[in-house]
Chains A and B, each alone.
Chain A
């Protein structure tokens, strides 16, 4: 009984290790081919549109409501300490350093990451990836590298949009609805927010772009059979990407503090 449990545990650990190893090799291969010309600019632009442009609306909506909720919560919390004037910097720092990169990455994962995994999965099932290989075209170069580069470009851009919209959302609630002076909101923000707060957030979002495109492409590339296989691959891609984003965010935050 104990031996049986131990054996099952061992097998499970080995399969996890094998899967993790496979993912690392997949990323390594993609990164290797990313440095080998020709560089597929048209494909990269297509992917930026797929990952970024088509996620803009959802990012604007999420950013606006996040900023507004932050404005509302922080205003009343800060008022308890007589520190309403700190609303601007509090919102800006929360968004720039944490919420902007993380929430925008999670939203893009939900919209574009799942679509990426499903698209590549369907390409695998309908033999389109085999067709690429049969035409002597490396699928890593044609599919994975453009997605990876597009993710590294689109994610920080989405984060920037999220941050700007979020700050204006906080302004709308704090200044226009709750009566804080507009000068206080902007001036305190200017005093307390450093360039490093912005760049740290953007570094995070670049790494989230790598994580999401890597995980989602991998899950799609090695999808199971049929509709169930693609559905499972898509779900796993979104769940694993989201967990990795949060874990990696904590790790980076602890380094950047």
Chain B
């Protein structure tokens, strides 16, 4: 489904991705872990074509998204849902308008259908009753939940989550993770979650990949990652300050 081949990206001469290769199968939910500032979000943005690589390809069903432009890229992106780190809700729109936004823009649904759909999604994320609030009135966790509802409202084939639970309390974190798993089972999307929630995330994903020094250091099931003998994996999971992972 998603095939990342030898991806390189640098910013102002600083190499962030140095030959990332990773394959995600259809319907799989994969967690991408790694140190902060090591390019996890950058990799996510390459998958949806928000960034262009210096070198390498990202194939979505054998189509290289890096080569797509105009209508082709637009069509490809309609298959995606993306949950941004800060939610990226539109300040000028209410919660309801934010969630309704992709439906109004990209479908021919009638207003009554849109309303029913938006209310359903908001209820799913526990935000029923907040339709008329502005994003500025919401807490960080509430913003993430509304953003999640917006990302899922189009029933995407591919879902990308950029740190969906960072900065949230443990209860909300568990609720959001459980909700992501439920949505994955319900919608069957192919998903990638950038996260630091270790080991909690191991409970909901099919596989885990560790990004280190601009490359994928290890990929495996949560059990394989837990038992991995690779020093960088063991260090990252245990949170030890001494080891092969360099702090940048």
Residues of chain A at the chain B interface (Cβ within 8 Å): 46, 122-123, 126-128, 130-131, 133-138
Interface centre among A130, A133, A135, A138 (most CB of B within 10 A): A135
Q: Across the interface, which residues of B come within 8 angstroms of A123, CB to CB?
A: 90-91
Q: Across the interface, which residues of B come within 8 angstroms of A136, CB to CB?
A: 73-75, 77-78, 106
Q: Is B82 an interface residue (CB 8 A)?
A: yes
Residue in B closest to A40 when the chains form the complex, CB atoms: B105
Of the candidates B78, B88, B102, the one whose C-beta lies within 8 Å of that of A130 is B88
Bound together, the chains give a CA A191 to CA B25 distance in angstroms of 80
Q: Are A133 and B90 neighbours in the complex by a CB distance under 8 Å? A: no
Q: Are A126 and B86 neighbours in the complex by a CB distance under 8 Å? A: yes
A-B contact pairs, 19 of them (CB 8 A): A46-B92, A122-B91, A123-B90, A127-B84, A127-B85, A127-B88, A128-B90, A130-B84, A130-B88, A131-B84, A131-B88, A133-B50, A134-B50, A134-B77, A134-B80, A135-B77, A135-B105, A136-B74, A136-B77
Knowing that A46-B92, A135-B82, A136-B78 touch, tell me 14 more A-B residue pairs with CB under 8 angstroms: A126-B91, A127-B85, A127-B86, A127-B88, A128-B89, A128-B90, A130-B45, A133-B77, A134-B50, A135-B101, A135-B102, A135-B105, A136-B75, A137-B105
Q: Are B82 and A134 neighbours in the complex by a CB distance under 8 Å? A: yes
Q: Are A135 and B84 neighbours in the complex by a CB distance under 8 Å? A: no
Residue in B closest to A122 when the chains form the complex, CB atoms: B91
Q: Across the interface, which residues of B come within 8 angstroms of A135, CB to CB?
A: 77, 82, 101-102, 105-106
Q: Are B50 and A130 neighbours in the complex by a CB distance under 8 Å? A: yes
**Closest 10 A-B residue pairs measured CB to CB?**
A131-B88, A136-B77, A134-B82, A127-B88, A136-B74, A127-B84, A136-B78, A135-B102, A128-B88, A130-B50
Bound together, the chains give a CA A128 to CA B88 distance in angstroms of 5
Bound together, the chains give a CA A109 to CA B117 distance in angstroms of 41
* A-contacting residues, B143-199, CB 8 Å: none
Q: Across the interface, which residues of B come within 8 angstroms of A134, CB to CB?
A: 48, 50, 77, 80, 82, 84
Q: Are A126 and B88 neighbours in the complex by a CB distance under 8 Å? A: yes
With A130-B50, A130-B88, A131-B88 as known contacts, state yes or no: A138 contacts B74, CB within 8 Å.
yes
* A-contacting residues, B63-105, CB 8 Å: 73-75, 77-78, 80, 82, 84-86, 88-92, 101-102, 105
CB distance from B192 to the nearest CB of A (A): 14
Bound together, the chains give a CA A123 to CA B91 distance in angstroms of 8
Bound together, the chains give a CA A46 to CA B91 distance in angstroms of 14
CB distance from A42 to the nearest CB of B (A): 10
Q: Across the interface, which residues of B come within 8 angstroms of A122, CB to CB?
A: 91
Residue in A closest to B106 when the chains form the complex, CB atoms: A136
Bound together, the chains give a CA A127 to CA B102 distance in angstroms of 16
Bound together, the chains give a CA A135 to CA B86 distance in angstroms of 16
Bound together, the chains give a CA A130 to CA B49 distance in angstroms of 10
Bound together, the chains give a CA A153 to CA B105 distance in angstroms of 25
Q: Across the interface, which residues of A come within 8 angstroms of B74, CB to CB?
A: 136, 138
CB distance from A242 to the nearest CB of B (A): 26
CB distance from A228 to the nearest CB of B (A): 17
Bound together, the chains give a CA A135 to CA B82 distance in angstroms of 8
Bound together, the chains give a CA A135 to CA B98 distance in angstroms of 12
Chain B 103-124 interface 0/1 with A at a Cβ cutoff of 8 Å (1 = within): 0011000000000000000000
Interface centre among B82, B85, B88, B90 (most CB of A within 10 A): B88
Interface centre among B80, B105, B106 (most CB of A within 10 A): B105
CB distance from A69 to the nearest CB of B (A): 38
Residue in B closest to A130 when the chains form the complex, CB atoms: B50
Bound together, the chains give a CA A138 to CA B45 distance in angstroms of 16
CB distance from B126 to the nearest CB of A (A): 21
CB distance from B225 to the nearest CB of A (A): 28
Residue in A closest to B147 when the chains form the complex, CB atoms: A131
Q: Are A131 and B91 neighbours in the complex by a CB distance under 8 Å? A: no
Q: Across the interface, which residues of B come within 8 angstroms of A131, CB to CB?
A: 82, 84, 88, 90
Residue in A closest to B162 when the chains form the complex, CB atoms: A127
CB distance from B79 to the nearest CB of A (A): 9
Chain B 191-218 interface 0/1 with A at a Cβ cutoff of 8 Å (1 = within): 0000000000000000000000000000
Residue in B closest to A135 when the chains form the complex, CB atoms: B102
CB distance from A150 to the nearest CB of B (A): 14
CB distance from A24 to the nearest CB of B (A): 20
Bound together, the chains give a CA A127 to CA B163 distance in angstroms of 14
Bound together, the chains give a CA A49 to CA B189 distance in angstroms of 41
Bound together, the chains give a CA A135 to CA B77 distance in angstroms of 6
CB distance from B151 to the nearest CB of A (A): 9
Q: Across the interface, which residues of A come within 8 angstroms of B89, CB to CB?
A: 128
Q: Across the interface, which residues of A come within 8 angstroms of B77, CB to CB?
A: 133-136
